[in-house]
Amino acid sequence: MIQLSEVSPRDGLQPIKGWVPTETKIALVRALHAAGIRRMEVGSFVSPKAIPQMADTGEVLAAARELPGLECTVLVPNRRGFDAAVQAGAHRLGFFMSVTESHNRANLNRSRMDSFAELSSLLREVPPGVKVRFNLSCAFHCPFEGVVPEEDALDWVERVQALSPDIEVSICDTTGNAAPDQVRRVFEHAINSWGNRFAFHGHDTYGMGVLNNLAAYEAGCRVFDAGSGGIGGCPYAPGATGNTAMEDLAWVFRRMGVETGLDWAKLLDAADLAASIPGALPGGRVRGVPAARQAA
């Protein structure tokens, strides 16, 4: 059994410049839940000056918390975001920083070591019952530094996993530039060295999103992020486009006989809703294909 974590309500919507009404965001969360999604990034507690689209995360989270069985994750980069997320009742806190110095400074306006020191300190204050994921952005490629040496990525993976045996570590292809052999080697090393508590977050900039997910799966990873409609991207990663489409990934796993727990028809409806949001950049190839809608 794998776990598919939906990221379109956060990663999918954050680069859209025009304001997406709170009601639309909540409608998307509800549609995804109706499709069987039980893990979801519903927003991020970041500065509204940096990411205006996430200014209503508290309201979206409150609505998402009413949905039965849904684990709600919000991203937090620092003390202010941490305090807001805990107060709002997030089920999982998504800490995040970058493997490369250049992207960390562009994305968070601070050094890697400053981010790591603060997040390490906050980890000791996580309330009982609240889960944590630590996201390492640009683990395979950086928009400013190019291909990331595997030993550099694994060095940061080692630092993070040493913080606690209870956190999930997400190794992220933020720019969608990773290659399957690179993904496979990194995940094989991580899982063989530190156990299977890793997740993969990929984008589809060069059409490699599904292949990279499968490479992580073959290496033993069982937790995968994807975004219905294939929408999204990082505002501070020039050239990066949408997430690996949830409908593409779900379709491949279904064909492989891997249980996803998702309702196919309702997932396609949710993907259509995500892709129809003004300003969203859809990337899913399965979404909207009549034959795919009839696939079992």
Which residues belong to the active site? 234
Answer for the pair 227, 10: CB distance below 8 angstroms, yes or no.
no
- Backbone phi and psi for residue 119, each to the nearest 5 degrees, phi listed first: -65, -35
Give dist(CA 212, CA 78) in Å, integer: 30
Residue 18: helix, strand or coil by DSSP? coil
Strand partners, 176: none
Residue 72: helix, strand or coil by DSSP? strand
Which of 212, 190, 188 lies closest to 134 in space, CA to CA? 190
Going by the DSSP 8-state scheme, the letter that residue 237 receives in this structure is S
- Backbone phi and psi for residue 173, each to the nearest 5 degrees, phi listed first: -95, 75
Answer for the pair 285, 291: CB distance below 8 angstroms, yes or no.
no
Residue 3: helix, strand or coil by DSSP? strand
Give dist(CA 118, CA 77) in Å, integer: 9
Answer for the pair 5, 41: CB distance below 8 angstroms, yes or no.
yes
HSE of 195 in the Cβ direction (CA atoms, 13 Å)?
A: 8
